[in-house]
Structure formats: structure tokens, C-alpha cells
Amino acid sequence: MAERTGPAGPGTPAIRLTSLRKEFAGTPPVVAVDDVDLDVRAGEFFSMLGPSGSGKTTVLRMIAGFEEPTSGRIELAGADVTKRQPFDRDVNTVFQDYALFPHMSVAENVEYGLLVKKVSRAERRTRVAEALEQVRLGDHGKRKPSQLSGGQRQRVALARALVNRPTVLLLDEPLGALDLKLREQMQVELKGIQRDVGITFLFVTHDQEEALTLSDRVAVFHAGRIEQVGTAREVYESPASAFVAGFVGTSNLLAGDAARAVIGREGSFAIRPEKLLIAPAGDTQRGDGLMGAEAVLEEVVYGGPITRYVVALDAGARLTALEQNTGASHAAANLRRGERVRIQWNPEHVIDVPESASR
């Protein structure tokens, strides 16, 4: 077996992708991954976020060794693994479809991979106990998968990967099959587990909220390329392109004539909905130092803690504003569809968004 770790030192990325490319044969051929460069730091919770078909899963499968790159290089902890077989890479993958063996107990499911690798009985016992403890299922080893909840089964799948003590764990939409409530609960669990075990997690999702909530950093994919890499705050507050602004959250894009009229300059701009204030037309009470525009209120959607307002600016763009329902009486509370309104914002919250990210 090849060496498990490369010439890793402090600062060596857990994963380094260099000009990674994948073309699938066909007429015309599909460029699934288009010259991707990426460093994932050791111990990071890193997410690859993007719409369906943007190439995230193909990148993950190439790192795992299930798919051969057309060109480019993959390094794990400093070692070039591009040509290595999947079993010879220090990674494990957790899939959405976690397929546990139904006739085996939870502990036997977790132990199975170690049995195949001929790990000694004593070490198997220690490592299975450790892995079950890590996913907070220490008391459930004797149960059968059918006696567990969906979230607990997903944690068994995680334990099955953690038991191998990989340097990197690849997770392909692992929460995709869970209902919303369980999914949110598992997001919190997953983050806690990653923090405890300190393993690098590379997580694939098309759910922007999930990526922002969980990750130390996020790479936003679009058509086989990475448009932006940054923290949740960076990709949300300072999107590098109109695509990122639109995919990560509601973007409220202003371009062309509307931008000229409302912002007063050429270009494309985004303003996040929670940064917009809405008031009856002519109300300038909250106006100190703010920019503003006149509009007609098209929709009011009450959503419990927040209300969503959709307005059509006289200048020709449509914007969404979110206001918290704090209970404090404010001007927006009694607004009705069809009314004329004034939208205001702090000029600091206008984000310049290039049409596409520079490469």
C-alpha cells in the first residue's frame, strides 16, 4: 500500500485540486468540471454549493477515486493521489442513500469495513465503540437499523466512515433524504461531530442555507466552474458575481436603466432583502442618510417572524424586502397590496456585482 500521508506539514491543505477537469464523452461532450483549482484546509468544514448539474458531485467522485479526471491533479495532505485506486486514498464517502445492512446490528454495520480489512478483534471493538460514541449512538450498538429513526440511521452511516479514521470525509448530500425538521436537527449534530473529531469534511449540497449554516468556507459552483470561495458571510455579503448573488439568497438585482435611475451609476447591483426598509409613500421618518425609491406594493406575504414585501419600482425593477415582525408599531405594518410605498436603504448595503466572476 502506498504511504497514507504525504509530505504534510503545518499549512499543507487537506485537499488540493489543480486544473481539475472532467469531460464525459458524447456529442457534444459534456464538460462537467472545467479547470477547477481549490485548496481545502485541514480540519475545515468545507461545502461545495451549486445548482443541479454544476459539477459538485463529479469533483467529489474524482477526489474519492470513483471517477478518473480528464486532466489535472488531486493531492490529499500533500500526496498526489490522482492515479491511486479509491481504497488507496485516505478518504471515506457518506452518501445520501446510506444502505445499511438490515440483518446486522448497528455495531456490526460499523465494524464491517474493519473486518474486511482484517483489523484485529480487539482493535475493532475499540474503534467501533469510539465511532459510535462520536456520533452519539454509544447506547445503540445492539439495535437493528429498523429500530432507529432516519437521523440515527444517517449517524450510523457516518460512524461507518469515521471508524476508518480518514483524513478527509466526503459527504454527498447526506441529509437530502431527511424531512426538513430532522434535516435541521442533523445539521446541528453534524457540525458538532465535525468539531469534535477534527476531520476535514467536504460536503456537497444544493441547499444554500445548509451550506451557509454548516461551513467554515463555501465554494459556489456554476457550470463546472467555481465562481467564488469564501466564508458564509463573504459569499452572502460580497458576492463575486450576479450568479452568486442570485444563488446564495434572494439577490434583488438592479441593472441597466433601473440601476442608473435608482443607484445613479452604470453597473449591476444587489441589495439584500433584509437591508431594505419599506414605508408608505412620502414617509421620510427613517430617512437619515438613506437612499430611496418610489414603488408600488405588489405582494405582502406574512411569514410568522417576518413579512415579505414584493415591490415594483417606478424605475422598472422588482425588489423583495423582508421586515421582522417585532411587534413594535412601525410604518410597514398596515401596508396593503396596490399601495404606493417608499423603499429605502443605506448606501453601504449596495453590492457591486460583476456579471461573471473574473477567473
Ligand X SMILES: Nc1ncnc2c1ncn2[C@@H]1O[C@H](COP(=O)(O)OP(=O)(O)OP(=O)(O)O)[C@@H](O)[C@H]1O
Largest CA distance in the chain: 78
Task: Give the nearer residue to ligand X in terms of CB position, either 207 or 339.
Answer: 207
Dig out the grid coordinates for 315 from the structure: 424605475
Please report the sign of the dihedral spanned by the C-alpha atoms of residue 136, residue 140, residue 144, residue 147. negative
Q: How many CB atoms lie within 10 A of CB 194?
A: 22
CB closer to ligand X out of 55 and 249: 55
Helices and strands (DSSP H and E) totals, the chain:
9, 18
Place of cell 445539521: 187
Minimum CB–partner distance for residue 280 and ligand X (Å)? 43
Nearest approach, Cβ of 34 to ligand X (angstroms)?
10
Q: Which three cell numbers stand for residue 270?
A: 444587489
**Smallest gap from residue 165 Cβ to ligand X (A):** 27
d(CA 251, CA 239): 10
Q: Please report, as ranges, the residues that interact with ligand X according to CB under 6 A.
A: 24, 30, 32, 50, 52-58, 206
For residue 33, the minimal CB distance to ligand X (Å) is: 7
Residues 334, 38: Cα–Cα separation, whole Å: 49
The distance of closest approach from Cβ of residue 20 to ligand X in the complex, given in angstroms and rounded to an integer, is: 12
| Grid coordinates given for 226 | 467555481
312's enclosing H/E stretch is strand 306-313
Which of 56/155 has CB closer to ligand X? 56
Range 23-33 burial, b when 16+ CB lie within 10 A, else e = beeeeeeebbb
Residue closer to ligand X by CB (options 222, 275) is 222
Nearer to ligand X, 46 or 309 (CB): 46
Q: By C-beta, is 173 or 323 nearer to ligand X? A: 173
Helices (H), 248-339: 256-262
Instruction: Return the number of the residue (131 or 229) whose C-beta is nearest ligand X.
Output: 229
Q: State in angstroms the smallest separation of the CB of 128 from ligand X.
A: 31
The number of beta carbons lying within 10 Å of the beta carbon of residue 157 is 23
Shortest Å, Cβ 257 to ligand X: 34
